[in-house]
Structure 1
Amino acid sequence: MATKPLKLADFEGDWTLTRRILQKDAPAARFEGTARWLPDGDGMAYHESGTLTLVGQPPMQGERRYRWHEDLTVWFEDGRFFHQVPGQGGATGHWCDPDLYRVQYRFGRWPDFETVWRVTGPRKNYAMISNFIRLDA
């Protein structure tokens, strides 16, 4: 865990992002790209983009966007609440009926960090491990 609680400003900047997606009963996938937190009004805009590689498929481009607020709450682009990041690292989650999204934020090697999502539901069963390495440290 981080030695002191992180603030939103601690995330600002550019990061290398690598992600492994481990699905039950399916080949693993990999995402490689960048993540960026930029000030935007009352918080920061988060944008990740890169290449998703699935076994047996041509690589494809992918991206995600969220809004982060000062209290480390994360919101979908359409304004719906997603989850709140624990400032010192740790567990949190999101229920999206009928699926449960649980995440661990691991800040022990700050300014680099890792998130581990475990998603379960009637048709979902995977882990998504993302590593963020600061580019502008």
Structure 2
Amino acid sequence: MIALADLEGRWRLTRRIEDFRTSQTGMLEGTCRWLPDGHGLRQEETGILHFGDAPPMQASRVYLWRQEGADLAVFFEDGRPFHRLSDRLSDRHLCDPDTYDVAYDVARWPDWTQSWRVTGPRKDARIVSRFQPLA
């Protein structure tokens, strides 16, 4: 199980996005920082996204990580719940009509992955993010 203290700091982020509906693939390369925010950690991702034939674009996102009992709860930046990380290292986020299933692989910690399978009437994708610590 990942603890908040394990995440704090700066990480290299590599993300592969496979859109099965359009047969397009994207890659994001950047950094991710987990910073104390008084309630837990604030996850800040920034990077350059290359997707299909589109020109590269700057991408960023923010999540809030909180300790809730034995679990880590992950929230969107505006405070809406996103998913939970427990001993089973997987969860489901429902965003009607879409379903987001996540699995964490920490077998090679501190080199770890977060894999999402996204399905819905207009979505069919796999998103795999790899995190590696930066000195």
Quick check: TM above 0.5? Answer: yes
The ranges of structure 1 where at least 4 consecutive aligned residues each deviate by more than 2 angstroms after the TM superposition are none
Find the aligned partners of 2:11 and 2:63 in 1 and give their Cα distance: 15
Q: 5+ unaligned residues in a row in structure 2: which ranges?
A: none
Counterpart check, 1:35 vs 2:32: yes
* Structure with the larger strand share: 2
Find the aligned partners of 2:80 and 2:102 in 1 and give their Cα distance: 18
Letter in 2 for 1:12: E
- Counterpart in 2 of 1:112? 111
- Counterpart in 2 of 1:130? 129
Residue correspondence of structure 1 range 1-137 to structure 2 within 5 A? 5-24=1-20, 25-71=22-68, 72-86=72-86, 88=87, 90-136=89-135
Can you list the C-alpha shifts for 1:80-108, whole angstroms capped at 9, x where unaligned? 1111112x462211000110000110000
CA contact (8 A) 1:89 1:106 kept: no
- Taking only the aligned residue pairs, the percentage that are identical comes to 48
Size of the alignment, in residue pairs?
131
What's the TM-score, normalizing by structure 2? 0.93
What's the TM-score, normalizing by structure 1? 0.91
Can you list the C-alpha shifts for 1:18-49, whole angstroms capped at 9, x where unaligned? 00001113210111000000000111110000
Find the aligned partners of 1:89 and 1:41 in 2 and give their Cα distance: 27
Find the aligned partners of 1:89 and 1:117 in 2 and give their Cα distance: 15
